[in-house]
Every structure is written in structure tokens, then in C-alpha cells.
């Protein structure tokens, strides 16, 4: 099972809804959508900066994409990026192995 971080910017519609109902439990509603997509919600945070929310989920990539599609189509998110957690040691080992096979033109 893979781990993903979803980083999003909320829509003006959600901003208005949150202002009208500031005590709304966005964690619970996000968990419900994540579970419907087949994901396990690990964390859901509101953050300062360019983006508004960061969520961590576990599951398959297609399930993370399903979550993105559901939120984007709902009109509640303007942007939602998916970042998969990787094993960087494995990635750089693979890169080192691949580098050994690179043939430069003219050599």
C-alpha cells in the first residue's frame, strides 16, 4: 500500500461555506470521501501559505486520483496535487545503475 500527500487550494465556494459554518468538521467529510474512494485517511491539515490543505492517505494511486476527481468535480477545490511517497534510496540506486549504461553519442 502506497502513501500519498494531497496538497490543495480550496475554492471560493468552500471558503464561503466555511465562513458560514466555521465549526464544520472537514476532517470527517474528507475521511468519508477518502474511504469511499478506497483510501485510508492518515491526516488532514489546514496550512498557511500558497495552498490551504494537506492530507495524507494510504492506498493505490488510482484511488488517490479518484479522490482528486471527486473533490475537483465537487467544486470545493481549485487545485489538488498528488505526491506519492517514494523510497529515495531505491530511486538513486536505480539511477546509479542506469547511469552506467548511458552511451553518449560519438563514443
- pLDDT tens, 18-62? 999 999 999 999 999 999 999 999 999 999 999 999 999 999 999
Sign of CA dihedral 20, 82, 4, 60: positive
* Domain range 2-99, its CATH number among 3.40.50.1970, 3.30.420.40, 3.40.190.10, 3.30.70.260: 3.30.70.260
Residue 104 has pLDDT above 90, yes or no: no
Residue 68: which of 52, 54, 53, 79 has the closest Cα?
79
- What is the model's pLDDT at position 106? 84
Amino acid at each position: 500500500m502506497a502513501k500519498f500527500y494531497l496538497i490543495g487550494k480550496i475554492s471560493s465556494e468552500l471558503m464561503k461555506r466555511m465562513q458560514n459554518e466555521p465549526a464544520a468538521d472537514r476532517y470527517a467529510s474528507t475521511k468519508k470521501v477518502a474511504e469511499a474512494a478506497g483510501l485510508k485517511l492518515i491526516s488532514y491539515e489546514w496550512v498557511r501559505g500558497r495552498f490551504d490543505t494537506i492530507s495524507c492517505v494510504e492506498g493505490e494511486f488510482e484511488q488517490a486520483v479518484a479522490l482528486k476527481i471527486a473533490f475537483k468535480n465537487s467544486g470545493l477545490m481549485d487545485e489538488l496535487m498528488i505526491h506519492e511517497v517514494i523510497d529515495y534510496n531505491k530511486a538513486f540506486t536505480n539511477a546509479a545503475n542506469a547511469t552506467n549504461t548511458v552511451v553518449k553519442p560519438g563514443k
